[in-house]
Amino acid sequence: MTRWPRFCLVVMGFALFGTEVSALDLQLHLRSGLITTSFTGAQSGDFSLITSVDGEFEIFISESTSIYANAIIALDPAEAQYRYLFAGGGQKLYFLSKGRTTEIDSDVGSLSMSPKRRFFAGWQLGISQLILDTPTPALTVQSTLFEYGFNIGALYRVLEKTNVEFQFTATRGTGISSVTVDATVFRFFAGLSF
């Protein structure tokens, strides 16, 4: 590993956990899929979009526990604008196997063990923004929400450091802006993790 990325990992690990973070403790997820949202309040309605992208950065804090930060954007191709934005984070708990690759070094050599299948459940918190209506091309009605919920998923290792992933997330959003709505959001994503 080159000097600067390693230095950044060490600083981030000490800042967050008081320990050094190695490359084995980090995982990047790229997913896409369906978002279904229904909302009530100042305005009522629903929408479903298959054109959504989710990026996630995960740091393992133990063999079976991790924390993560993610961002989601869902685009509406019919109106050529985004309908849903999300930024947040949470925690995953892996079960039925370890969550990360383990390396053991000795005088004789080193051994790397990666689980073939991984399953997780976790919680999520974040801030989202919904486009509720577009009365004219220059005017949109939007609401900002505080979202909280849970997720479950599975990963299957296809290459040494690449996994195919499926994830389901259900969240409830409470309005925190002047146009207040409450929303229920379901996300069905598939993608890759590295």
Structure confidence at residue 90 (pLDDT): 97
Q: Where are the domains of the chain?
A: 24-193
With 0.75 as the threshold, say if the pTM is over it.
yes
CATH classification number, 24-193, choose in 2.60.40.10, 3.30.420.40, 3.30.43.10, 2.40.160.20? 2.40.160.20
pLDDT at 151 over 90: yes
Identify the residue with better confidence: 79 or 87.
87
Instruction: Say how far apart CA 35 and CA 44 lie, in whole Å.
Output: 17
Mean pLDDT, to the nearest integer, of 11-34? 69
Average pLDDT rounded to a whole number, residues 146-168: 95
Distance CA 74, CA 18 (A): 36
Mean pLDDT, all residues of the chain: 87
Question: The tokens 């084995």 sit on which residue?
Answer: 24
Per-residue pLDDT averaged across 153-168, rounded?
94
- Where do the DSSP E strands lie in 21-161? 26-41, 45-60, 65-76, 81-95, 102-105, 110-113, 117-136, 139-159
Both tokens assigned to 190: 């598939």
Mean pLDDT confidence for 165-179: 96
pLDDT computed for residue 22 by the predictor: 55
Report d(CA 135, CA 113) in Å as an integer: 56
Question: What would you measure as the largest C-alpha separation in the chain, in angstroms?
Answer: 70
Mean pLDDT of the 13-20 span: 50
pLDDT score at 2:
46
The pLDDT tens digits for 4-16 are: 455 555 555 544 5
- CA pair distance 148, 140, nearest whole angstrom: 25
Rounded Cα gap, residues 96 and 123, in angstroms: 18
